[in-house]
Structure 1
């Protein structure tokens, strides 16, 4: 089955240009949506991934229709390819069954890895810079008195966990952690 996928980011935008291009090459089923490409979890894309089967072909007007982020686009194409699904992008003339298409996929993988590595490097540099300026990193230390108040309310048995965390301002996870810590000491 040949499944076409078309997407624009907002309701104000039109799919006409994409639909015209897709109709020229033909398809058996069309999935279209109007939703931002910055989100990987999209109803139309999920529908596409749910219905395609090994041996099917997915056709898009441009690989940018799969998403905004190189990593998201690449992971979607890799998922399709690993499942035995042919991917065709008309604008980039990319077909994962051809040597050129496979090479383009490989180049995208290299670019995506570079993007990942640069993000990690910038994050590390930012953290190092903050440390040098004396910025304390990580979660702020919780006030011990709040923890003791929460445990006291818990021990009294008159309040629900939700009430205790609302009253004291500590998280549910922290409360349970402290309760369990006490149990281990006993």
Structure 2
């Protein structure tokens, strides 16, 4: 049996292209993780590994969809090999059932980790260069100083019954932001 494993790195990425490719490759079951970062949990991959039996194949679209580091890829490859489960990587034409496929898998894994390391280094260098020019990262503030002051005034305003006149949700709705945004700014004012 062919078992497909897909992964998207962020919540807003769409896994449908991967899932379609895996089904087209003959996968009877497809497991999709939405995970980000090296240490992110992969519950769907875990399920796929539990379902897989001797003689089955785990199929992925790209090598980086399986693991985030060469060490992780090699560990998974070793686990699959010890259980006599094949690994097929569609985009790179890798099939670990063959010696050439196993060698190619390790070479591609090393290159992928090297590329990731270079990208991380470039990102760090870019952030340092931006800081040196006085720029900081992150989102622009959702509320301006005047809006924060108004939100605080609304929060502090009491009704005739002695209770707060506006709930945090009402204040958030007024400014078009979330409640945590209002709470974050209110805590700065205290």
Please give the TM-score of this superposition, normalised by the length of structure 2: 0.54
Change (3 A) 1:163 1:137: same
Aligned mates of 1:12, 1:71 — CA distance in 2: 17
SS state at 1:137 partner: coil
Deviation (angstroms), 1:166: 2.4
Question: Structure 1 residues 54, 106: closer, same or farther in 2, change over 3 A?
Answer: farther
Q: Distance in 2 between matches of 1:13 and 1:72?
A: 13
Matched residue, 1:71? 64
1:138 paired residue number: 138
Alignment length, in residue pairs? Answer: 157
CA distance 1:10–1:127, change in 2 (3 Å): closer
Distance between the aligned counterparts of 1:52 and 1:32, measured in 2?
12
Q: How does 1:2-81 map to 2 (within 5 A)?
A: 3-5=1-3, 9=17, 18-19=25-26, 30-31=28-29, 40-41=33-34, 49-50=46-47, 52-53=49-50, 56-57=53-54, 58-60=56-58, 65-68=59-62, 70-75=63-68, 78-79=75-76, 81=78
Output the CA distance in 1 between the equivalents of 2:177 and 2:4: 46
Match of 2:94 among 81, 92, 112: 92
TM-score, normalized by length of structure 1? Answer: 0.55
Aligned residues of 1:6 and 1:15 also touching (Cα < 8 A)? yes
Residue aligning to 1:26: none
1:116 is matched with which residue? 116
The CA deviation at 1:110 is 1.9
Q: Is contact 1:149-1:168 (8 Å) kept?
A: no
Partner SS for 1:56 = coil
Take 2:57 and 2:4, find their aligned partners in 1: how far apart are those partners? 9
Instruction: Note the alpha carbon deviations across 1:82-133, whole angstroms, 9 max, x for none.
Output: 586544136533149x7973x5554344223212212212323443554566
Q: Over aligned residue pairs, what C-alpha RMSD do you find?
A: 4.6
The answer (yes or no) to whether the contact 1:74–1:108 under 8 Å persists in 2 is no
Which blocks of at least 5 consecutive residues in structure 2 are unaligned? Answer: 6-15, 36-41, 158-163
Structure 1 unmatched runs, 5+: 23-29, 34-38
Q: Which residue of 2 aligns with 1:27?
A: none
